[in-house]
Amino acid sequence: MRQRKLIANNKKAKHDYFIEEVYEAGIVLTGTEIKSIRQGRVNLKESFARVENAELIVYGMHVSPYEQGNRFNVDPLRPRKLLLHKAEIRKLIGYTTLKGLTLVPLNLYIDEKGRAKLEIAVAKGKKLYDKREDIAKRDSDRRIQQEMKQSRRGD
């Protein structure tokens, strides 16, 4: 079993997209960025990934500047390169160009070797009615669970 420390997750992604496939990618970071990430000062909310020149780049991932970083700090919203195998990148190119799917970051974590990893999902955008269906299903499931709890108490 892998030992990993979850740093940030993108809850909005599962609400806004249907997740098709998930990939694990390494991130190219500077020294002050990884220190800031280890402190949990990162936000994935508005981030997305794109394939450019056979490289995977993540945009909009906000890594707050490290307090003791002074001149070594970089732009918090700078594009960051993701590390994947060539075959996986080719597969992602096919998904994004042919099928019109998008690449959305799901989780950022530190693995057992101390490296920052980002889970990238191949996702299809949900329509408003899909989101409403999910909310209605979640509410009905919650109601059923509450009814079951109350019926167990009554016995």
Q: What is the pLDDT of residues 103-126, one digit of tens each?
A: 899 989 988 888 889 999 888 887
- What is the per-residue pLDDT for 27? 92
- Average pLDDT of the chain, as a whole number: 84
Q: Based on the number of CB atoms within 10 Å of its own CB, is 27 exposed (0-12), middle (13-18) or buried (19 or more)?
A: buried
- What is the per-residue pLDDT for 154? 66
Q: Is the pLDDT of residue 30 over 90?
A: no
Q: What is the pLDDT of residues 53-90, one digit of tens each?
A: 888 899 988 888 887 777 777 777 888 899 999 999 88
The torsion region of residue 69 among left (phi > 0), alpha (psi -120 to 50) and beta comes to alpha
Is 3.60.20.30 the CATH number for 5-127?
no
User: Helix, strand, or coil here: 100?
Assistant: coil
Q: Please state, in angstroms and rounded to a whole number, the distance separating the CA atoms of residues 21 and 104.
A: 11
